[in-house]
Every structure is written in structure tokens, then in C-alpha cells.
Structure 1
Amino acid sequence: MGSLETERTTTGWAARDPSGVLSPYTYTLRNTGPEDVFVKVMCCGICHTDLHQAKNDLGMSNYPMVPGHEVVGEVLEVGSDVSKFRVGDIVGVGCLVGCCRNCRPCDSDNEQYCLKKIWSYNDVYTDGKPTQGGFAGSMVVDQKFVVKIPEGMAPEQVAPLLCAGVTVYSPLNHFGLMGSGLRGGILGLGGVGHMGVKIAKAMGHHVTVISSSDKKKVEALEHLGADDYLVSSDAEGMQKAADSLDYIIDTVPVFHPLEPYLSLLKFDGKLILTGVINTPLQFVSPMVMLGRKSITGSFIGSMKETEEMLNFCKEENLTSMIEVVKMDYINTAMERLEKNDVRYRFVVDVAGSKLDQ
């Protein structure tokens, strides 16, 4: 333990306008306190949300902005009141770095639903400084929002679990869908979707991947272990699969109709939305009423669920499928992500990159 310096600088790659183009940016980290952990970033996954935020797709972006919320790093120093971590620990930081700690969600270990939550980037911390994410050399994070990475897990493969992994694990956990023998659907086979297949299969579920084309069929069935593959435009195949699924985790982050997928659900089935979409979705009410089906949403997961998910993945030997890139490739990676040209998550080797050029 030690007393942290009050001010540090680091270099990250920031977007400066809605073009979303990232370039080197040196800035001062927020003031540190006794419960803070100073983390040297090793690697950081690239999530579709990073793209939304960098390009101001949601209309709430503040610049300059350093994205990145799937962060794995090494603890270099801890505050005097830090009890959970030691220097040298390999740790993870996800989407949040703060919450109010006294509302109903916070009191029930669901701090991701706190109305005063503080995002890892594109937000303002309690001391008034803007938060910046993991596309940078270092971060200062309150110990509550740091998780220890289980020993033996490769940092670059763990990074996407901190968002994509827990985004799937949390609704399965909350809605009582962890028991074996369930029939589940994963709509969209990207960063979240591919972890959905892996986690659901490890729980003993029969898993159907639902996609807009058959180009990922071989990967879904042979590489990820899915049991079935449905193309949403195949009317005959969709009709045969009607009334067959206990749940569908909808990972698609762009506008799409819901009715074709509601028809796949059994009585009391659940369509769980996890993709961030900035346009209204539509459906006709009988699609829900006549099967007592639910359309619901789930947002990442709590710190408690993140720890549980990491331990589950360690026990089941689950990792994310990734493409590792250096920081100087990040703009190309963002362009490829927008075209869905990645299998299935980019991870930036931050520690191995030259951040100032």
C-alpha cells in the first residue's frame, strides 16, 4: 500500500469530433484518493459502443474522448484504504467507474442501473474531471469497480469478457436461465453473440444462432459449438422453428424488426435486448400477448456478476475469439468493426503500442 500522487499524466488515443477518428492525446488523470487503484493498461477490447460514442451516434458525446471499457491491466500502486488489490495484480475495468452507493440498485448489487452511475469514459467524475477510457497507458479507478482476473487467464482474451461476456451472463443469471436443458437463441454473431453461444453452451443449453445470412454458419456450428443455425430471411426455416425457444438474447446494435423473433419464442419466452439502438423498435401487441412473452432489456452486469462470470469462464475454460492489433491500427479496426469485419472482437495491445505517435 502507498499514498498515490495527486496528479499524473498519460497518453491515450482520443476522438476529437464526430468523425470518430482517434489520434494521440496526452491528458491529466483525475485526482486520486485512498480507495483508488492506479492501473497500467495492458490491453483493451473494442466494443461497438466505442464506435457509437466516438461518432456521437447517441448525441451525447463530449470531446476529446478516449474510448475503451474492456480494460485489463496491472496494478502499479494502491491507495491507503485499498483492501482488495495489491501491486502486481492483473485486474479488469469495465463500463463503469462510479455510482451513488445509496439507491435501490446500488443497495442490491445492481449498480449498473444506478441513475448516477459514472461511465468509464465520456462522463465526469465526482471531482469534476472528465473520465477517459482504456485506449490509454493508464487509468485511476475506485477499487469497487476493479475486478481481479483469475490466475492463468490470458489478458487479451479476458478483455472482451468485461463487457461482452457479462452482458450475456447477467440476463441468464437474473432471469433464471442458467439451468441445463433450456433452448436459447443468440441473435447476431458478433462480440457479444459469440460469447453468448459459448456461455449458454457451457450452461448446458441447446443453442440456435440466428443471423441475417448464412456466411457465419460454419463458424457458429463447427467453431463455436452452436446446435442450430437460422437465417432470418429463410421463411420456411423460421416457420419450422416457431414456438421452440425459451429465450433469445438479441445482440444486434442496429434497427431491426422484432416480430420474426418473437414468433420463435415458446409460451412465457423472453426476448432480451442487449444492443444499443438509437431508433425506436416496433412490434404488434398480439405477438407478445398471445404467448405471454416478454420483451425486456439487460445492461452489462454488476461487479458481483462480473466476478462470477470470470470465475465461470475460468472453470469452463471459456475465452473470447479475438484479433489483436496495435494502437496505430485502431482507426482501421473501427472501420472494420462498423462493417462487421472481425471475428469476433478486436483487442488493442496497449502496452505493446507506441501511444504518442
Structure 2
Amino acid sequence: MSTMDGIPDLEQLERKVLELNSKSEVLVNQVLFYYVQGIEALFPEMHCSIMKVKNGRLYGWVAPSLPKDFQEQIEGIKIDDNMGSCGTAAFLKETVIVADIAHDIKWEGYQEIALAHHLLACWSRPIVNSSGQVMATFAMYYGKVKVPNAEELKIIERASSLLQVILESRQYAEALKSSNELYDYVNRATNDAIYDWDIVDNNLEWGGGFFRVFGYQPDGERFPIQRWVEMIHQEDLDPVTKNLREALRDAAKTNWTAQYRLKRADESYAFIEESGYIVRNDEGEAIRMVGTIRDITERINYIHTIEQQNHRLKDIAWAQTHLVRAPLARIMGLVQLLREPESENVDEQQVIAYLHDSAKELDGVIRGIIEKSLS
């Protein structure tokens, strides 16, 4: 079959490959193998190979008709100038045509390996993504010395364009999957409720932390901002919503924080701390807000407990400086009275009675202090 005769069938193959690639359950290796095998079926003289880039080297991806021994011997070839057709193509980021492997400096050091398997020509093109990074190389080997004609160069270009679409779409899908997995892991690892509020569409998307922390069950329904408003404690509602409206209107603001009480599924309220980042369009209008809601109930309760303890300590300190001092001063005065030389004229029984009363008063004060310190 001539090159031109194979073009209609090549177009049909490309459509099938794209259809296959759109199915997420089909592995990229299977898609590439199907494509390369299809090209070789249309052009039997070609022996195609796709090698993937990893850490500055090339590793075999698919090569249905290349000898296994040859593939093993070039596995991990360095990406550099004059490192075979593929290593050079990846290094230069351009098509490399080697029409005669036996006499081309680019294959120096690998010529014997290729010639031993009767591979005499190799054309290679790098598969470069939209960011300018080389993802792979696509090569065509021949069992004879051969220079590509114009139609064959077009086939190389078409193949590389299609391979770019396949590999880049798979890279994007993998990156999206990783991003989603990371988002899920973050949600699992934290007790914060992560949210994404589409302000234009008026819908809140909650991470798993929201349902875990506040006890609600996901219902699959839309979550307009009004549902969040209804969960805010009445005493906090006006200041929180007013502050949020002002932040959204202010084009210079990108961050919003607030502390308020939010209703749990069991009707109790949690003290929460919210931090949000406001995304704006070119006109400065708020179109989205992403952030976290953190349950700080334990922290607030702890602070309240400390404040209560501080209040008790102040009461104790006041009692020590005032309540204790009065009966103690009387006791000391009465004792001093008994020591005075003129104490013979003092009614000792009366003084002892006063001492007893003051001691009882002091005992009562001390008991009160102890009770406060233990409460």
C-alpha cells in the first residue's frame, strides 16, 4: 500500500483511537498500543515505537513489532544530542530524520545494536505538551535506508499531534484525579469544614468535614446561602451577615473572617471560626468564596473555664486581703490587750469570748476561701 492509499484508513483509525481514549476505563497503554498497531497494519514497512520521558531518560512505552532484545538494549537511553534518533529528538525538541543509521553520528554507540536487528533507518519526533515539556517520542524504524517523502512527513506530524492530544488529556485527567484525591485526603485529615461557594450560582459545596463535624447527612440537594444563614444563631445573625455583605461589596477585600455560633444537626450550637478567600472578576465583583469553618467550641469553653477560675481567684485574693484581715486584726488586738501591764483591770473572760468569736469568724472566712478554691 502506498502512503496516499493509506490516508483514508488512517483517518478512520484516528477516529477510533480518539473514541477509545475518551473512555476512562481504557488505560493509556492500551490506547497507544491500539494506535501504533493500527499504523503498522496500514504501513507494514514501518516499525513504530513510543518512548516516554522520565528523569531525563527515555523508556519503552509501546513498540509492538520491534525486537524485544533491541528494546531492552536502548531502555533508559539518555536524552541528549547524538543519542539515537529519539534521544536527540527529545533533546532538540524537533523532528530528527536518520535515513542511514550505519553512517549517522547520532547513532554512534548504538549502531551495532540497531544493525544487528536489521534496523537501518529511524525517524523520530518529540511529543511536546502545551507547556513546552517533552512527554514522549514517536519513532518509525525501517529495514532499509530511507528518507521520508512529503506524505510520510505529514503522517509523522499527524501522529505526533494525535499523540499530544491523547497524552495531554491523560495528564490532565491524572492531575485532576490527584487534585481531587488530595482534596479528599485533606477533608479526611482535618476537622475543618472546607467549602466552595459559587456566589453567582448561589450554591455552597461542602467537604466531608462539614457533615462529620456538624452531624448533617449529605442529601445531594443544592445548598444555597440561605440554608447557611438559617443555621446561624439569632444573636449572631445580623452582625455576621452584615459583615459578610460589606466584605463582598468592597472590591479591595479578598479575605473574610468571623466567629459565631452555628447550629448542629442535633439542634445544639457550636462556636465556630470561619476564614474565607473571596475570588473576584476583572470588575472586582465577588464571584466565588472558598474557605474553612472550624469548630472552636472546646477552645471557647476552655477560655470560659479559665475566666471563671480567674474570677474565683480574684474573690479569694479579695477575701484574703479584706475578710481575713478584720477578724485577724481583732485577735491580734485582743492578745496584745492581755499582754498589757494594765491587763489586771481587763475582764479576761470577756476578752476570751471576743477571741472565740473572732476565731469563729476567721474559721468561717477560711472555709469560704477553701470552698471557692475547690469549686
Q: TM-score range by the shorter chain?
A: under 0.3
Q: Radius of gyration: which is bigger?
A: 2
How does the TM-score come out when normalised to structure 1?
A: 0.24
Structure with bigger strand share is: 1
TM-score of the aligned structures, taking structure 2 as reference length:
0.23
Q: Which has the higher contact order (CA 8 A, sep 6+)?
A: 1
Greater helix share, structure number: 2
